[in-house]
Amino acid sequence: MTTIFDAPEDFAATALAGFADVYRRHVRLVRGGVVRASKVPNGKVSVIVGGGSGNYPAFAGYVGPGMADAAVAGDVFASPSTASVARVCRQASFGGGILLGFGNYAGDVLNFGVAAERLRAEGMDVRIVTVTDDVASAPVDSHRKRRGIAGDLVVFKVAGAAAEAGLSLDEVERVTLHAHDRTVSFGVAFGGCTLPGAGGPLFTVPKGKMALGLGIHGEPGISEESTVSAPELAALLTGKLLAERPQGTHRVAALLNGLGSTKYEELFVLWVSVRRLLEDAGLEIVAPEVGEYVTSLDMQGCSLTLMWLDDELEKYWT
């Protein structure tokens, strides 16, 4: 459970304040989010990300050189308001235009979209990239309807690196969309997450079972299966993603992500089998990451994200 809190309704705001205080050398707290504390050159494209709280280090933990210039934070598993999005964008605008990135959830799509229109009316050039990487949430021919889960990290990493390299807004948007279209994820949960102050989890998983295709806002999986060994779980995760491998792809970025209550040692055990299966499929793994990057409060589980690389994407991924 989420057991350390003051007033449950203040959990997200208090956590953000604590984060910004600890990491003040990297971020500056503003109303509704954080902005990059390091100096930024005039004319740089601003990469601004966000969404609900409860997914730490997403999204405030992504702010810094080579990544995002600001993050907008909503309440736990709730979209930030239109006013918050617009306010943070104004404070992180350097004259090169703004790229807004967030996961494909109805509240985020609405509020970030309205904020973008408001900023455009003020003369800012604002582009939107909505991440839709979760293969469990819609079939491949309806991929624009998919949810955004841990693919947020790899897509925003590419966007931030492209902006840091001095690319124009048109080019940053193009590269980010290219990264997005070559990113897929799939996750499983062994236990649900509990909101601060709540008496129980948002969903439960029967003992000895795992939920397939979870969402990062506490959404249950689309089906349940019996828990399996690490090699079998690796085969399940990789199999779902390799089914969407573009023809001629030989390199891949991989992110094995913990959801909040899965030990790093468990992820490392699982990674051994994931690596073997990807290499057996003829893929060279470039700069893999294993750890907690997009969590769901205290959910027990993990997800695997793959980004199919070409020379351009590898440059910005690394």
| Nearest in space to 288 (alpha carbons), one of 301, 302, 307 | 307
CA 25/CA 122 separation, integer angstroms: 31
- Distance between CA 135 and CA 133 in Å, rounded? 6
Characterize the bridge pairing of strands 209-212 and 223-226: antiparallel
As a whole number of angstroms, the distance between CA 237 and CA 187 comes to 7
The H or E element spanning position 186 is: strand 183-191
Q: According to DSSP H, which parts of 5-91 are helical?
A: 11-22, 82-91
CB atoms within 10 A of CB 269: 15
Write out the H or E segment, with its range, that includes residue 304: strand 300-308
217 included as an active-site residue:
yes
Q: Which entry of 26, 178, 217, 250 is annotated as an active-site residue?
A: 217
Alpha carbons 65 and 124: distance in angstroms, whole number: 22
- Asked whether the beta carbons of 14 and 6 are under 8 A apart, the reply is yes
Q: Which H helix or E strand runs over 36? A: strand 33-36
SS3 290: strand
Is 201:193 a contact under the CB 8 Å cutoff? yes
Residues serving a catalytic function are 217
